[in-house]
A and B are shown apart, each in its own frame.
Chain A
Amino acid sequence: MTITEKILARRAGKTSVQPGDNVWVDVDVLMTHDVCGPPTIGIFKKQFGENARVWDPEKLVIIPDHYIFTKDKYANRNIDILREFASEQNLPHYYDVGSERYKGVCHIAMAEEGFTRPGEILFGTDSHTCTAGAFGQFATGIGNTDAAFILGTGKLWVKVPPTMKFVFEGEIHPYVMAKDLILRIIGDIGVDGASYCCMEFAGDGVEALDMEGRMTLANMVIEAGGKNGMVEPDQTTFDYLDKRTSRQYELVFNDAGATYDSVRVYKSNELQPMLAKPHSPDNKATVFQERNQPLTRAYIGSCTGGKLSDFVAAARILKKQTVKIDTFVVPSTNEVAEGLNTLRLNGETLAEIFESAGATIGQASCAACLGGPADTFGRLNSDDEVCISTTNRNFPGRMGAKKSEVYLASPYTVAASAITGKITDPRDFL
């Protein structure tokens, strides 16, 4: 069996499962946030009763992150609902807005807080919950009804997915980032190329990636229709988790005879900086092919491209440079924001590098990645905006105005393009 099959079999109490089997599994962690948490709570109370208790407060994690710094009264009310529920249910893992515990983007916060443990099952009311597959956890997105069912029972039915394997052989060029790898894959197989499947990443190119790079890969499997991402845990995984959790986890690896639905092999040294052009994540092009395309805005942030290593990459390019277009920098979490103020490149903090380049730094949250209320930081409020972004989706209207255009790219490419105001290959500045 593959890792995914083994995890699902264990938690279903079975010795083996096959792709296509429907099984009921015990849930290790349920995560929700401010957009889907309130309706989930509503369904939970309707189905299990006003005074119902959640199945296991220790296994529930609530991280408000989507609509935080807004005056929208409904959005603010949703935070109140989460706060009230956390207090009523005595929840130990609630990260309240305006408190010292506030984190920011849930998928990054989940890793920082050590909830992304190998061998476990994580469900979250957000499609990018698949990010945690980077740690060898079975992690996937669900809706409010399924989440409410878990809140009351601790269980959920799940169909065992076939696993597609993506192997990167050899060393990856220093100007190519994990984002380029996953954009290439999505462009090759299409936005439904991995529908219902697990996408597993392997090979020495992947083994050489740090945890944040692996998270970028697993994060975007949903953009190919994938159910979950998977990277076999190794010393890099253990070293990260040793600093984040003292909880024991069971190690699950692929069996030697594991069966894959397909195996696709890439020669790492043939990979180029990549783009997804408007309006689909599979609208593939190399940065070189689209060079000189004029832009009005650059955006660096989100669960995909707002981790500390993403900002280190951007800062390497922006150091001693000036941006030509509006450039927004949004750390995913408060821990990343702290890193911008403490981590230095040749004496300057990352924050100083961004500010002296003319970029604007926002507060940790999902911000404009998904548009959101009109007063959201960095939101594309005009149809004329053409933005290059480190985020994950460029559907029509995704970042705001319906006719605005979004190019998806790596932090290197976004930073290089911010300097010139047009799509630019990062090799020009590295």
Chain B
Amino acid sequence: MSHRIKGKAFVLGENIDTDQIIPAEHLVYSLEKSDEKVLYGKYALSGVPERESGLPGGGIPFTPPNAFETEFQVIVAGKNFGCGSSREHAPAALQIAGARAVVAPSYARIFYRNAVDGGFIIPLESEVDLSKEISTGDEVEVDQVRGILKNLSSDRQFRLKPLGDVADIISAGGIFGYARKNGMME
């Protein structure tokens, strides 16, 4: 896995719950059948109220209408990202849409765990809330080794916290890769 992720930022506020990430009516599609799986990309973050979707202005859908993929690779959000239900469809939907990392000052624990153990998306912790420092559409670069998020559009940079215990699981691609590497399963 590359240590650098470069792309456009999509900015959200605090307490983005999993019902906003993927509304419950969509949890019925198969995650194995490719023709259904793409629907998770289509509806990713579709539950976010319009004025809060793509800050600071709002009104920007994460995935455009009639599309299955997003143009935003990095989600920047306020505290407690991913609160609410345990649906693993939430980090999966963000990955299926094409996002690769979330940057938030804190996460709800089940979302964080699902993102890591399932190897869907990298949940990075920023030292401060960056949702007011970065605008949707800004070009950003996340450097996991140096622990820095660089806003290429404004030429400012911000510090990220080290991944800690979960770094090994993330680099193994998830809990199954980790368990195999460590001889816990065949």
A266 CB → nearest B CB, Å: 24
Expressed in whole angstroms, the Cα–Cα distance for A141 and B165 within the complex equals 20
Expressed in whole angstroms, the Cα–Cα distance for A275 and B185 within the complex equals 48
**Is there an interface contact between A370 and B80, defined as CB atoms closer than 8 Å?**
no
**Is there an interface contact between B86 and A143, defined as CB atoms closer than 8 Å?**
yes
Residues on B with beta carbons closer than 8 Å to the beta carbon of A36: 86-88
A398 beta carbon closer than 8 Å to chain B: yes
Return the chain B residue nearest A148 by Cβ: B176
**Is there an interface contact between B84 and A395, defined as CB atoms closer than 8 Å?**
yes
Residues on B with beta carbons closer than 8 Å to the beta carbon of A149: 117, 175-176, 179
Residues on B with beta carbons closer than 8 Å to the beta carbon of A153: 179, 184-185
A39 beta carbon closer than 8 Å to chain B: yes
**Is there an interface contact between A196 and B114, defined as CB atoms closer than 8 Å?**
no
Which of B19, B23, B28, B80 touches A75 (beta carbons < 8 Å)?
B28
**Is there an interface contact between A192 and B80, defined as CB atoms closer than 8 Å?**
yes
B165 CB → nearest A CB, Å: 6
A412 beta carbon closer than 8 Å to chain B: no
Binary flags per residue of A38-80, CB closer than 8 Å to B gives 1, else 0: 1100100001000000000000000000010000101101100
CB within 8 Å: A-B pair count: 130
**Is there an interface contact between B176 and A372, defined as CB atoms closer than 8 Å?**
no
**Is there an interface contact between B80 and A191, defined as CB atoms closer than 8 Å?**
yes
**Is there an interface contact between B29 and A74, defined as CB atoms closer than 8 Å?**
yes
**Is there an interface contact between A225 and B88, defined as CB atoms closer than 8 Å?**
no
A294 beta carbon closer than 8 Å to chain B: no
A372 CB → nearest B CB, Å: 6
B76 CB → nearest A CB, Å: 18
The 8 closest A-B pairs by CB, nearest first: A143-B88, A143-B114, A74-B28, A141-B86, A192-B80, A145-B118, A127-B86, A144-B88
Contact sample, A vs B, 30 pairs, CB 8 Å cutoff: A35-B27, A36-B87, A39-B88, A42-B30, A47-B176, A74-B28, A125-B86, A129-B86, A142-B113, A144-B118, A145-B114, A146-B114, A153-B184, A159-B165, A192-B79, A192-B108, A222-B84, A225-B80, A225-B108, A227-B109, A371-B19, A371-B23, A393-B84, A395-B17, A395-B84, A396-B19, A397-B47, A398-B19, A402-B47, A402-B49
User: Which B residues lie at the A interface, using CB under 8 A?
Assistant: 15, 17, 19-20, 23-25, 27-32, 36, 47-49, 79-80, 83-89, 106, 108-110, 113-114, 117-118, 165, 174-176, 179, 184-185
User: Which A residues lie at the B interface, using CB under 8 A?
Assistant: 22, 35-36, 38-39, 42, 47, 67, 72, 74-75, 77-78, 125-127, 129, 141-146, 149, 152-153, 157, 159, 191-192, 195-196, 222, 225, 227, 280, 370-374, 393, 395-398, 402-403
